[in-house]
Amino acid sequence: MPSALKTVPHASHWGAFTAVVRDGRVIDALPIANDPDPSPMLAAIPGMVHGPARIAEPMVREGWLKHRDRNRGADRFVAVSWDEALDLVAGELKRVKADHGNASIFAGSYGWASAGRFHHAKSQLGRFMNTFGGYTTQKYNYSYAAALALLPHVCGTAQPSEGPISSYETIVAETRQMVCFGGLSMKNTQLDSGGLARHESADWLKRAAEAGVRFVIVSPIRDDVPPFLDAMGAAEWLPIRPNTDTAMMLAMAYVLASEGLADDAFLASHCVGWPQYRAYLLGERDGVAKTPAWAEGICGVPADRIASLARESAGLRTMLSAAWSLQRADHGEQPFWALVALAAAVGQIGLPGGGFGFGYACVSGQGVPRSTVSMPTLPTLKNPTDSFIPVARIADMLLSPGGEYEYDGEIRTYPDARLVYWCGGNPFHHHQDLNRLARAFQQPECVVVHEPFWTATARHADIVLPATTTLERNDICAGKRDHTWAAMHQAIEPVGNARNDHAIFCGLAARLGNLEAFTEGRDEAGWLRHMYQVAEEKAAAQGVTLPPFEAFWETGEVNIPTPTKPFVLFEDFRLDPEGVPLKTPSGKFEIYSETIAGFGYDDCPGHPVWFEPHEWLGHVQQVSETPLHLISNQPRTRLHGQNDPEGPSRASKIKGREPIWLHPEDAALRDVTDGDIVRVFNSRGAVLAGVVVTDRVMPGVVQLATGAWYDPAEPGGLDKHGNPNVLTRDQGTSRLGQGPSSHSALVQVERYRGNLPPITAWQATEGSA
């Protein structure tokens, strides 16, 4: 007789779903019935849970076990018992703490490891380390680190990037034109950190188009134009040279300033610094007027269209937006600051349907009406060391212990990281210049990693502790941009000998003497109930009644009411700038910031300016050697590197390699066509990729999405799989934000004529089975 099927409610970063289980194996992940735009990426989940890349036992790198060597990334692993593995880890933690202090334990552990709020890996690690005396962490995120440093100086808050931002309700009702620098890529709306229940972004954008909103998409990639807006005749694509959006924004502001279209009243009442900025735009200081003709020579957008777009923005209710990706570039602070200044000159900030916002469509919930009720979270406690590095400065820290660097007005010193502890996430996906990162990973005395899969980070560890996937534990899905909390019921027993992160830390805490502080006497079930009840009490204080935990767990979800009044960013400040000032020194928008000017940074002065990126298509000598600008955007077939070996991601590969998009002109110059394998290279490294010829990228631009698992043929050698971060530059955006600048990279492409090496990134490591 056929085995009985079991179904359980569960959720992920790609949405809520029903897990279908037979004989202890997940065989399907079915989206919930009322999701209007379910993610196809759910299809990869069963294959990942039971795939060959799973780590089944605690593993220790042989060279480290025998000799404490640092030959990471090229050594075999041997299986050990849980007791031996935990004894080794506990011993290293004790040793480093005693000999070097807690700040020498680097446990930043950035990543999207779990949609669950209790088993959120970074939170579990942070709580454990804080009860052990502290650690060095990472500040901000790879998504919009430069914005998080800049915007509090300019707007008094990072909310314009983090959210909530003006909701789509106001755009549908009031906006007539939405200008989107960096586009509105629908692939990004299939996911959100912390998970989501329903995908609503596409529906809201369709409603806006039906209401007469016109979308102007400014991007080097036509794929950043939602196809349905194209089909509805509601979108205009303005191709722009990568990394030059600031120049176009400056020119639009120049038109407003020189033609008397700037809102002088708003600039006087709600802003400081317009006179200084206006003088820069008009060329009164440097002799260079930032005219549309000047900008056209930089960005490639016709001068007359720049000018007309500026006039339209002043004459229509206009929402100005920029994708988070724009600030992941050299001088990435500038386009975000320039957009705020442009919106201030237009004068519609705080009006329904007007103003600005960052990240529309960068994740599913950005711009979707959302609740203000606090979600359930695991308290991580205070870090006794208060030691951190900017999120993207990992390699600098490891390669330059004790070195000084500047950051947001401070002169800081890199800690001497003797032990790296990574739990959730994958720096060999997120970080830039991976060959440099691999060299940096040779420096610590010990690297500990919790991982379900043999990622490159696990392969560069000394001790690998096999972690469960979400389907092997109970949790609560609650994204801060979503209005539904979903129960994540355990679907199967742990695969192999895997343990959840909480259980691993309990085992370590028992050895180190901080078990009670870590658990507070609660197990998984106790923490889930406690976290929910705390959130329930906070909701009640806001007048929102939630069902008791038992009812939530049984029904599988709870819907949080959204506000009846559509949210407008900075509405209160517009209405009463004196009574509700911004949290800036002036209480107003700072088009010119005395604070930033006082830092004395030549790479980020006191107001928005145009800087030539370190690598860009306007540099004649660079282009002669590396004539193509690499866009390493987010993939459409996975989340970052998650689920790369299965489902849509695996199906998208070309002869096993990540696809790279080339314009027909660039393909013809290199005598390559669809399906060919090419070598993509620059001074930092080389990768193989499979060609897709398309006019959906500009001439001179190639697109190679992030997330193909790093798979070098030899340490520091050719990446066989197509990970673009082998090619990207590991340099901070500026001394202000120190964010990643991955989108400022030039490459060359040539046909690959050698024998294709096999892909080995998805296999268990040699000697580890």
Provide the 3-class DSSP secondary structure of residue 713. coil
Rounded to the nearest 5 degrees, what angle is found at the Cα of 250, between the Cα atoms of 246 and 256? 150
Classify 321 in phi/psi space as left (phi over 0), alpha (psi -120 to 50) or beta. beta
Provide the 3-class DSSP secondary structure of residue 254. helix
Q: Is 1 exposed, middle or buried (0-12, 13-18, 19+ CB in 10 A)?
A: exposed
CA distance 463 to 455: 13
Give catalytic residues, as residue numbers.
110, 112
Which of 302, 291, 301 lies closest to 252 in space, CA to CA? Answer: 291
CA distance 615 to 613: 5
Cα 190 to chain centroid distance, Å, stands at 14
Cα 287 to chain centroid distance, Å, stands at 39
- Asked if residues 331 and 613 have their Cβ atoms less than 8 Å apart, the reply is yes
| Three-class HEC string of 415-464 | CCCCEEEEECCCHHHHCCCHHHHHHHCCCCCEEEEEECECCHHHHCCCEE
Name the phi and psi angles at 688, rounded to 5: -100, 145
Classify 409 in phi/psi space as left (phi over 0), alpha (psi -120 to 50) or beta. left
Could you say which DSSP state residue 613 is in?
-
Sole residue written with tokens 């870590």: 518
Token pair belonging to 211: 């209401």
Which of 452, 447, 451, 423 lies closest to 437 in space, CA to CA? Answer: 447
78, β-bridge pairs: 60
CA 325 → CA 253, 715, 744, distances in Å?
Answer: 22, 29, 11
CA distance 338 to 356: 11
Sole residue written with tokens 């459409």: 636
Q: Please give the sequence-ordered ranges of beta strands (E in DSSP) within 550-700, or none if there are none.
A: 557-559, 589-590, 628-631, 659-662, 677-682, 685-693
* CB-based contacts of 328, cutoff 8 Å, min separation 6: 142, 143, 144, 146, 733, 739, 740, 741, 742, 743
Which of 57, 23, 24 lies closest to 498 in space, CA to CA? Answer: 57
Long-range contacts from 691-695, C-beta under 8 angstroms, 24+ separation: 691/654, 691/659, 691/660, 691/662, 691/667, 692/654, 692/659, 692/660, 692/661, 692/662, 693/661, 693/662, 693/663, 693/664, 693/667, 694/661, 694/662, 694/663, 694/664, 695/222, 695/663, 695/664
- Asked if residues 643 and 455 have their Cβ atoms less than 8 Å apart, the reply is no
Name the phi and psi angles at 472, rounded to 5: -105, 20
Question: For residue 286, how many other CB atoms are within 10 A of its CB?
Answer: 10
What does the radius of gyration of the chain's CA atoms come to, in whole angstroms? 26
> What is the edge-to-edge ordering of all strands in the sheet holding 475-477?
475-477, 484-488, 557-559
Which of 521, 454, 518 lies closest to 764 in space, CA to CA? Answer: 454
Token pair belonging to 477: 């899905």
Question: For residue 713, how many other CB atoms are within 10 A of its CB?
Answer: 14
Which of 5, 121, 219 lies closest to 457 in space, CA to CA? Answer: 121
